[in-house]
Amino acid sequence: MAKLQYKRFPGDVIVVPMVIGVLLNSFVPEFLNIGSFWTAMAHGTGALVGIFLFFLGASMNIGSTGKAVAKGTVIIVTKIAMAILLGFAVAFLFNDNFLGLSSLAIIGSISVANNALYSGIVASMGDDSDKGAVAITDLSVGPTVTMLAMSSAGLAAISPGALIGSILPLVFGIVLGALFPGLKKVLSQGVQPATIMVGFALGGGMSISQLIQGGISGILLGVIATFVVGAVTVLVEKLIFKEGFAGAAISSVAASGVANPQSLADVDPRYAAVAPVATAQIAAAVIVTSFLTPMFAAWVAKREGKA
The fold for domain 12-24+36-302 equals Na+/H+ antiporter like fold (1.20.1530)
Residue 155 has pLDDT above 90, yes or no: no
Rounded Cα gap, residues 140 and 113, in angstroms: 8
| DSSP characters over 234-291 | HHHHHHHHS--HHHHHT-S--GGGGGHHHHHHHH-GGGTTTHHHHHHHHHHHHHHHHH
Reported as a single tens digit per residue, the pLDDT across 22-40 is: 899 889 999 999 989 999 8
Between CA 86 and CA 218 the distance in angstroms is 15
Give every CB contact of residue 303 below 8 A, 6+ residues apart in sequence.
none
CA separation for the pair 77, 73 (Å, rounded): 6
Please state, in angstroms and rounded to a whole number, the distance separating the CA atoms of residues 229 and 78: 8
Residue 206 has pLDDT above 80, yes or no: no
Q: Are 103 and 96 in contact (CB under 8 A)?
A: yes
Note the residue count of the chain. Answer: 307
Most confidently predicted of 24-38, 50-64, 218-232: 218-232
| Cα 139 from Cα 112, distance rounded (Å) | 9
97 against 60, higher pLDDT: 97
Which H/E stretch holds residue 126?
none
**Residue 306 vs residue 152, higher pLDDT:** 152
Give backbone dihedrals phi and psi of 174, rounded to 5 degrees, phi first.
Answer: -60, -45
Most confident region among 20-29, 100-109, 167-176, 287-296 by mean pLDDT: 100-109
Q: How far apart are CA 203 and CA 221, in angstroms?
A: 20
Most trustworthy range by pLDDT among 39-48, 196-205, 223-232: 223-232
